[in-house]
Amino acid sequence: MTLLDSFLTRGALAGIGVALAAAPLGCFVVWRRMAYFGDATAHASILGVALALMLQVPVLAGVLAAALLMSGAVTLLAGRGHAVDTLLGVMAHSALAFGLVAVGLVGTLRIDLMGYLVGDILSVGKTDLAVIWGGALLVLGLLWWRWSALLTATLNPDLARAAGIDPKREELVLTVALAVVVAVAIKVVGVLLIVALLLIPAAAARPFSRTPERMAGIAAAFGAVSALGGMQAAYLLDTQTGPTIVCLAAILFAASSAIGAVRGGAR
């Protein structure tokens, strides 16, 4: 019997892998105020699940394709008659509704619907684990490669253009990274909770960070603590693991906000 034969070990490694990829990317989502964008991308993934099963292709491919298509559609339609937040809200909820309707047309998916919506980290297999860590390493490598350009384009698009950096290209990099994270995280926390895992650890890390790199590192640590602690709490409380992970992340955010407020008052 190897270490990976334990479903608890596989679940823990899956949670850490998703946290390490989602937290640094979540920092850019926070800095760019892209929460609705992440929501729309995540909601589109349930449609990708249904279409993948209809077409008999791997679920990961369907989710990734749906997330990329949603991201591309939002980018193309933004600024063409509707405010961005309105457009994102319409597309996010429309994608989820169409996805749920498509789910109803695929009988084999009915049993697994709750797992795709809120995740089932304890059912992660060895193949799932390889996919999760492969996606996580791809996202981390992409962020490491483009880190300076992404930061410049995020903080000052005009300065980025002067430095020869195309802000639209960097936005595309973030779009691809976000789609990959959504695709690999669906097994862990589900469609409805993916954006929470992106945003909450990053927001919790903010009061303790003086540099972007420090914020990304602390966010990754908070994400990993949320994943491992959430699994333990779910076991003790007999609750669903995905939502419990997000609940623990929310508690960490509340604690960090309180500490930040106390520090601000002391100054």
State pLDDT tens for residues 90-143.
Answer: 877 888 788 778 777 766 545 566 777 777 787 888 888 888 899 889 999 988
* pLDDT of residue 249 exceeding 80: yes
Identify the burial level of 113 via C-beta atoms within 10 angstroms of its C-beta, where 0-12 means exposed, 13-18 middle and 19 or more buried.
middle
Whole-angstrom distance, CA of residue 251 vs CA of residue 256? 9
Nearest to 175 by CA among 211, 217, 143, 219: 143
CB 35 within 8 A of CB 214: no
* pLDDT of residue 65 exceeding 60: yes
Domains and CATH numbers, the chain: 2-194 (1.10.3470.10)
Whole-angstrom distance, CA of residue 135 vs CA of residue 118? 20
Q: Assign 33 to helix, strand or coil.
A: coil
* The predicted structure's pLDDT at residue 261: 82
Who contacts 55 (Cβ-Cβ below 8 Å, separation ≥6)?
A: 62
